[in-house]
Amino acid sequence: MHITVSGKQLDLSDALRHRVSTMLDTIASKYFGDALEAHVTFSRARSFFTCDINMHAGRGLTLRGEGEAGDANAAFDDAAEHIAKRLRRYRRRVNDHARDVTQRGEPDQPVAAQHYILQQQEDVELVGEDEESLVAPASNNHFATVVAENPAMIVKLTVGEAVMRMDLADQPVVMFRNSATGQFNVVYRRQDGHIGWIDPAAE
């Protein structure tokens, strides 16, 4: 597995880099037969270290873990445990997914899409006497500005697989093509901790 370990304005020891590589290889080998890619980033705040792990499986699975502690090693342990905990939760599904894709090859081709990051406008003014009529500044007719644009892929999944991927990647929302209906669906994490599911095909 190709592992990149970096620090934001932080020097990392060879011992820490070796420990990160060894532990991630151990975690990955339990679930995936194919090579994985991982990016581990350390940073330091005033009184603690943070560690962000992003692992990319060759079969479209993305895993993310964050940790913080008083030293870099403990911060990595915290982040790695978050990933390991999620993988243990989905052990059977992850193993089945990797085995099925290996046997059948890649499933239906995903749909290419664009992922935009918007910055909300702060200067909003009222128009007329209707307090609900809000518009952006006169120089811009949009309520938000695009600050980043990334390619994205919308894959065909069951609802359960979509929830699994959302949890493994620690994302608040996932858009996918429902394998049962072919329609675009969305699953998302609600504020009460439950999972929401938007299905336009449902009656």
Tell me the per-residue pLDDT of 29-54, one tens digit each, with 9 for 90 and over. 887 766 579 999 999 988 899 999 99
**What is the residue extent of each domain of the chain?**
2-103, 116-150, 155-203
Distance, CA of 137 to CA of 134 (rounded, Å): 10
Distance, CA of 72 to CA of 69 (rounded, Å): 7
pLDDT at 130 over 60: no
Of the candidate CATH numbers 3.40.50.800, 3.40.50.10490, 3.30.505.50, 3.30.1390.20, the domain formed by 155-203 belongs to 3.30.505.50
**DSSP reduced 3-state for 10:** coil
Kind and range of the H or E element at 156? strand 156-157
Answering whether pTM is above 0.85, one says: no
Tell me the per-residue pLDDT of 47-93, one tens digit each, with 9 for 90 and over. 899 999 999 876 668 899 999 999 999 999 999 999 999 888 888 77
Residues 81, 63: contact at Cβ < 8 Å? no
Which CATH architecture describes the domain 2-103?
A: 2-Layer Sandwich (3.30)
The Cα-based distances of 90 to 77, 97, 179, 187, 188 in angstroms read 20, 10, 19, 17, 18
